[in-house]
Amino acid sequence: MAYQWLKNGSTLTNNGVVGGATTANLTLSGVQAPDAGNYSVVVSSDYGTVTSNAAVLTVQSAYTAWLAGFPGLSDTTLAGDPEGDGIPNLAEYAFSLDPTASSTSGLPVVQVTAFNGQSHLQIQFRCDAARTDITYRVEVSNSLAPAGWTEIALSVGGAPTTDIGGGTAAIADSGIGLRTVTVTTATTVAASPKQFVRVRISQP
């Protein structure tokens, strides 16, 4: 017998996600939202060809999966703040806070630190490899003007944080699971006495 799996009626071929497209067992690994759809298999033998009923694959976003841990939230939107602590759900999600408990504990922390004998601004923030649908961006400014922020480090989907354009003096990031990332800015306090640093969260 021969097997050919279909997605939404189109022939599937093996790739980074799809395995066993021409076998009795289809395997999907690391599925993302675009992989959702109707999967069916065509079975051919000397006696004819049969197409199976479709199996429907729905893919839940990482944010939706996180929300499931907090049943009964009165506002589940990204901008929502159901417990009224001033921290929107997107930030509660990014920094692994509790959207049902009014607290500012666990938010990013900024301090001045010594690096190679010089004072530098440093930010520490929680980052989680499970946050596959958001991006963490560390940005600096010397004016707080809305258009005056420069990106210096980036973590896409909770992956290890990387330097952007030489803007960091040091990055400490294990890159594994839920961890605290530390980013030290490249510009010394002596060179630029007025500095600001923030983490901006965006989707994806």
Q: Please identify, using beta-carbon distances, which residue of 84 and 146 lies nearer to Ca ion.
A: 84
Residue 87's Cβ-count burial label (10 Å; 0-12, 13-18, 19+) is buried
Closest approach, Cβ 75 to Ca ion, in A, equals 9
Q: If we measure between CA atoms, which residue out of 14, 7, 10, 3 comes closest to residue 36?
A: 7
| List of residues contacting Ca ion (CB under 5 A) | 81, 85, 87
Q: Please identify, using beta-carbon distances, which residue of 90 and 138 lies nearer to Ca ion.
A: 90
Closest approach, Cβ 66 to Ca ion, in A, equals 13
Q: Please identify, using beta-carbon distances, which residue of 100 and 132 lies nearer to Ca ion.
A: 100
Closest approach, Cβ 78 to Ca ion, in A, equals 11
Q: If we measure between CA atoms, which residue out of 37, 43, 49, 44 comes closest to residue 10?
A: 37
Q: Please identify, using beta-carbon distances, which residue of 35 and 81 lies nearer to Ca ion.
A: 81
Closest approach, Cβ 86 to Ca ion, in A, equals 7
